[in-house]
Amino acid sequence: MNYKPFQEVPQQESKEKWFKSHLLGREVELKELYEMPQGDLDLLMAETAELRSDQGNRERNLGKFCTAGYFLELGRIIDKRRSLD
């Protein structure tokens, strides 16, 4: 599949913003989502969706809760674009 090259990542998404994924076993930067293999993107979306579905996570760590939401929404956008190609 032909994914969006890194140089086309919007500037606001090129800033360092990362999510520590336990399913992928590493920290993932926001800009990586554009080139991430579909299987890894699916795992990341599942992990962030699970984190967001538990409102207790919001009280325990608001920063991680918000970051997970951003990664989840961007992942969904990328996933939808890929399915249209």
Per-residue pLDDT of 44-73, as tens digits, reads: 999 999 999 998 989 999 999 999 999 999
Residue 42, helix vs strand vs coil: helix
pLDDT in tens, 3-16: 554 446 566 555 67
19 in Cβ contact with 27 (< 8 Å): yes
Question: Cα–Cα distance between 23 and 41 in angstroms, integer?
Answer: 11
What is the pTM for the complete model shown? 0.79
Residue 23, helix vs strand vs coil: coil
Task: Give residue 15's pLDDT.
Answer: 60
